[in-house]
Structure 1
Amino acid sequence: MSEPTRYGRLIGASLGPGDPELITRRAWAVLQSGARWLYPVKKAEESSYALSIVERGGLTVPADAEQLLFPMTRDPEILGRAWVFAAERTVALLGEGRDLVFLVEGDASTFATFGHLARVVRELVPVIEVETIPGVSSFAAAAAAADTVLAEEDETFAIIPAAYGVELIDHLLDEFDTLALLKVKPLIDEIIELLARRELLTSSMFIEKVGSPDERIVRDVASLKGEKVNYLSLMLVQNPKRLRGELRRGCRQRRGASAAALAAVDPASRP
């Protein structure tokens, strides 16, 4: 009777948005642990942005590192074949008993390929152990690079892919103090027109390839109209004129409520 297969672990190593100095100590250790590297590409034999982050950090790519293809298409048939191959190949490699570390740009839990890959792998072989190492997200790094904040005290903050369209973005501007609009490339002109109508151009900024040598921060977002921007770009939009409703929960308490609460637990404090 043959022994059951001993599978290695599947580890999603978040690398941050581009600056290798933002790689966490945990991810850095895993990259040098002897685990086999997997990294995503959009086209066969194309360069990998995730791989470039660790290369700029000074690590040598192992000779047995392997790419997995995740094509940039909405064709369900093409996507389906690619996902099935990636998951089956990952399971086959894990079946050798060696850990695999999948390189993830940004954070592995936020709009990342790794979550879907890990889910399909566990559907194929439920006993496979998965570890996700968190990392710095692109919008957090962008706010730091642009010397701004995403939210303070009781302010609200939303993260959405810009592909949902300007109608939804327009609605959310009334619901949130700050919006992080991801992957703005296809709708950049429409978003700029919306911000102009809402008089929010001066409280918006565009950040491209944050943390990389090609990082670009544009505060005059109107100047981008008609320009072809990089896929790895986002916008931070703040609405300082947003009307807020009554805060029902939060850190702040009304003075009257605080005094009443104190009196309830300490009768000596009552007037």
Structure 2
Amino acid sequence: MLTAIGLGPGDPELLTLRAVRALKEADTVFVPGGIAFELVKPYAKNIVTLDFPMTRDESVISECMRQNAEKILPAAKSGSAVFGLIGDPNFYSTFSRLANAVREHYPELEVETIPGISSITAFASHAKIAVNGAFTVTDGPADPSVKIMMKVTKPKVREAELRKEGFNDFVLVERMYMDGETVYKGEMPEKTNYFSIMAARKL
């Protein structure tokens, strides 16, 4: 099994309880560099640092992913392998590509993620600003390929609106981490609870 753990924005006190437990239970913990190494060091038994060169050269990136996948695979196949990274593994991280590289060698491998406090939410706290309206997060492109919406109580209506904007893939989680949690993929329901989050993607 391979688990990616979000280590938060860099403050060791902002690791989640679940992240700490997973680090303690892991057979091997892989990290991409020094900051992540220091964050996992108090909890991990066996730490391996992987090299991720800072480059935009796609051939170098692909080769890097292949080499790191080969290092991770034996630990993931035989026990519990954890990849710890700054922020959250599902937001602007290299983990999705790394996981795909691992799956190329071992497609049936179970892969999961443990969310971390992202730089987006940490920034608002650090900058002492409150965000109470709609906002956009981007790493460059002005036209987003993903929209995440909170408090979606009429998903069917919202889906129809978003399809007109070119979005064609939809996922909704109702009452996430609560009793009665339900995940909807593809066809959206007419109505959902106030505690619902919907993601629309252009695929």
Which TM-score band applies after superposition, normalised by the shorter structure?
Answer: 0.5 to 0.7
Alignment partner of 1:79 is 2:71:
no
Residue by residue, what CA displacement relative to the aligned partner does 1:88-139 show, whole Å, maximum 9, x if unpaired?
22113323x1211111110111011212211221232111111200111102
Query: What residue number does 1:51 align with?
Result: 37
Q: Which amino acid aligns with 2:89?
A: A
Cα separation, 2, equivalents of 1:11 and 1:124: 17
Alignment partner of 1:102 is 2:83:
yes
Contiguous gaps of at least 5 residues in structure 1: 1-8, 42-47, 173-250, 252-271
Query: What residue number does 2:136 align with?
Result: 158
Cα separation, 1, equivalents of 2:56 and 2:71: 22
Cα separation, 1, equivalents of 2:113 and 2:27: 14
Cα separation, 1, equivalents of 2:58 and 2:90: 23
The equivalent position to 1:133 in structure 2, one of 100, 114, 129, is 114
Contiguous gaps of at least 5 residues in structure 2: 145-193, 195-203
Percent identity at matched positions?
A: 34
Query: What residue number does 1:13 align with?
Result: 5
Instruction: Flag the 1:60–1:23 CA change in 2: closer, same or farther, 3 A.
Output: closer
Cα separation, 2, equivalents of 1:99 and 1:136: 23
The equivalent position to 2:70 in structure 1, one of 81, 84, 88, is 88
Query: What residue number does 1:178 align with?
Result: none
Query: What residue number does 1:69 align with?
Result: 51
Q: TM (normalized to structure 2)? A: 0.65
Contact map agreement 2:20 2:43 (CA 8 A) in 1 = no
* 4+ aligned runs moved over 6 Å, structure 1: none
SS of the residue 2:29 aligns to: strand
Alignment partner of 1:114 is 2:111:
no
Alignment partner of 1:25 is 2:17:
yes
Alignment of 1:198-209 (within 5 A): none
Cα separation, 2, equivalents of 1:54 and 1:124: 27
Query: What residue number does 2:149 align with?
Result: none
Q: TM (normalized to structure 1)? A: 0.49
Residue by residue, what CA displacement relative to the aligned partner does 1:187-243 show, whole Å, maximum 9, x if unpaired?
xxxxxxxxxxxxxxxxxxxxxxxxxxxxxxxxxxxxxxxxxxxxxxxxxxxxxxxxx
The equivalent position to 2:129 in structure 1, one of 148, 157, 160, is 148
Cα separation, 1, equivalents of 2:26 and 2:97: 24
SS of the residue 1:161 aligns to: coil
Q: Which has the larger radius of gyration?
A: 1
Question: How many residues of Structure 1 are paired with residues of Structure 2 in the alignment?
Answer: 145
Q: Which amino acid aligns with 1:138?
A: S
| CA deviation after TM superposition for structure 1 residue 28, in Å | 0.5
Contact map agreement 2:24 2:44 (CA 8 A) in 1 = no
| CA deviation after TM superposition for structure 1 residue 54, in Å | 3.2
Cα separation, 1, equivalents of 2:26 and 2:68: 21
